[in-house]
Structure 1
Amino acid sequence: MNFLKLIRYQNLLLLAFMQLIFRYGFFKYQNIPLALADWQYNLLVLSTVLIAAGGYVINNIFDQDTDLINNPKNVIVGASISETHAYNIYLALTSIGVAMGFYLSNVIEKPGFAAIFILIAATLYLYATSLKQMMLIGNIVVALLLSFSVIIVGIFDLFPATTSENQQQMGIFFSMLLDFAIFAFIINLLREITKDIEDFEGDHNQGMTTFPIFVGEEKATKIVFALSFIPLILVIYYINRYLLDLLFVTIYLLLFVCGPLLVFILKIWNAKSKQQFHFLSFLLKLILFFGILSVAVISFNMKYND
């Protein structure tokens, strides 16, 4: 159980779910060629998960002092798992994940794409060691990495199967991936800042310069409040522009994405306590989950309409 906490398995499950839902909840029903066999695609998911798990481990290693203040009950490194053992786990997870990436890059005959996995692993290491301490940079990096885990699906499963004959069709699906990646980026950026507000005390005691520390806790809260209208407006625009003919999808998004976003907006305005910000962070994770699940709802609704 300590190992699962160390790698933050809940976040990894969400990451895996996000990638699996695009293939098995949508692309498989669209009558388009896919570059990877099922087991190879699952290997892509596993590779992404392992590299992300390594990122969580190295982050926990460098966050020991801060976690003692912010989350004393959840401290793993230095308590139930030694720092040396944690480093070994990090190296194993990251190495295996990158090696899988090398293999998959050769499968699609794009060996240069292996650099993507190296770059992701290196960025996660830099985040834990230095980028995290740079105001907003760390937040943006984490949000970008999550959104890129959506885009990588297109890079490895759609792009290699794209030909001059199906280029327009594949372009539509790649564009859809980009839309979801943008949504994931915005929601996760809001969540990262919200978590920084939640961890204000511990980060301040460690001399970190997070966004809430720089502008002040109250001002940061109001900025998150203002920014949270962006995904709400974008989802409503997206429904109006593309999805009004899909009744189930429209109802689903209004109830399970727009609804929780409205709850977040209402609650963030008056949020003060650590517990309130913790709940709001969890709420954003739920919004991300339901947002990604909408891919399968779109697929179902399209099939139902046919």
Structure 2
Amino acid sequence: MNFLKLIRYPNLLMLAFMQLIFRYVFFKFQNIPLALADWQYGLLVLSTVLIAAGGYVINNIFDQNTDTINKPNQVIVGKTISETSAYNIYIALTVAGVAIGFYLSNVIVKPGFASIFIMIAATLYLYATSLKQMMIIGNIIVAMLLSFSVVIIGIFDLFPTINVENQQQIGLIFSILLDYALFTFLLNLMREIVKDIEDVDGDYNQGMNTLPIAIGKSRTAKIVAGLSFVPILFMLYYINKYLLDLVFVTVYLLLFVVGPLFYFSIKIWTAKSKKEFHTLSMLLKWILLFGILSVVIISLNMKYNA
């Protein structure tokens, strides 16, 4: 159980769930050729999860002192798992994830794509060791890495199948993937900043330079409140332009994505306590989950409306 906590298994399950939803609901409903066999796609998911797990481990290693202040009951490294063991786990997870990436890159006859896995692993290491201490930059980097887990699906499962006949259809599907990746990026960026507000005391004691340390919790919360209107307007525009004919989808998105985002915007404006910011961080996680599930709702609604 300590190992599962170390790799933050709920986040990994959500990552895998998202990638499986896109493949076995969205892609399958489009009746398009896919580059990977089912078991190979399973390896792509496994590779992504392993590298992400390695990122969580190395982050926990370098966050020991900060977590002792911010989350004393959740500290794993140095208590139940030694630092040496944690490093060994990190190396094993990362090497396995990158190795699978090398194999898959050769499967689709794009060996150069193996560099994607190396860059992701390297960026996660740099984030844990230095980038996360840079104001805003660290937040943007981790949000981009999480959103790229959507884009990588298209790179390995769609891109190799493009030809003259299906170029337009594949391009449209890829653009939808990018829209979901943008939504994922925006929500994760907001969540990372909210987590910085929540952890401001421990970060300050460790000499980190996060936004709430630089300008204060209240001002940062108001910035996040303003930022939250970007995904709200994005969703309203998207619904109005593409989804109004799908009544069930429109209602779902308004109730489970747009509505909760409005609620978040209101609550973050007045939030002050660590508990409130933790609750709002979890709310963003739920909104992201419901956003991912909209893939299922859209696919089913399109099928039965046709």
Is this a same-fold pair by TM over 0.5? yes
Give runs of ≥4 in structure 1 deviating > 6 Å. Answer: none
Comparing 207-216 and 116-125, the one that deviates more: 207-216
Structure 2 residue 223 is matched with structure 1 residue 203: no
User: Any stretches of 5+ residues in structure 2 without a counterpart?
Assistant: none
- Look up the match of 1:43: 43
- The superposition leaves residues 122-173 of structure 1 with CA deviations (integer Å, 9 ceiling, x where unpaired) of 0000000000100011100000001100000000000001111100000000
How much has 1:25 moved relative to structure 2? 1.4
User: Any stretches of 5+ residues in structure 1 without a counterpart?
Assistant: none
- Look up the match of 2:264: 264
Q: Report the secondary structure of 1:25's partner residue.
A: helix
- Look up the match of 2:151: 151
- The superposition leaves residues 239-282 of structure 1 with CA deviations (integer Å, 9 ceiling, x where unpaired) of 00000111111111001101110110111011000000000000
Q: Report the secondary structure of 1:29's partner residue.
A: helix
Distance in 2 separating the partners of 1:2 and 1:253: 37
Structure 2 residue 298 is matched with structure 1 residue 293: no
- Look up the match of 1:104: 104
- Look up the match of 1:4: 4
How much has 1:208 moved relative to structure 2? 0.5
The 5 Å alignment of 1:212-227 reads 212-227=212-227
Distance in 2 separating the partners of 1:67 and 1:256: 32
Count of residue pairs brought into register by the alignment: 306
Distance in 1 separating the partners of 2:217 and 2:276: 13
Distance in 2 separating the partners of 1:65 and 1:59: 12
Distance in 2 separating the partners of 1:15 and 1:98: 17
How much has 1:217 moved relative to structure 2? 1.1
Distance in 2 separating the partners of 1:42 and 1:284: 27
How much has 1:182 moved relative to structure 2? 0.3
Distance in 1 separating the partners of 2:141 and 2:158: 25
- The superposition leaves residues 15-37 of structure 1 with CA deviations (integer Å, 9 ceiling, x where unpaired) of 11111110111101111011000
Q: Report the secondary structure of 1:35's partner residue.
A: coil
TM-score w.r.t. the length of structure 2 is 0.99
- Look up the match of 1:78: 78
* Residue identity matched to 1:110: K
- The superposition leaves residues 199-258 of structure 1 with CA deviations (integer Å, 9 ceiling, x where unpaired) of 011101111000111111111011001100110110011000000111111111001101
* CA root-mean-square deviation: 0.5
- Look up the match of 2:234: 234
* Residue identity matched to 1:304: Y
- Look up the match of 2:117: 117
- Look up the match of 1:16: 16
Structure 2 residue 56 is matched with structure 1 residue 53: no
- The superposition leaves residues 54-106 of structure 1 with CA deviations (integer Å, 9 ceiling, x where unpaired) of 00000000000000000000000000000000000000000000000000000
Identity of aligned residues (%): 74
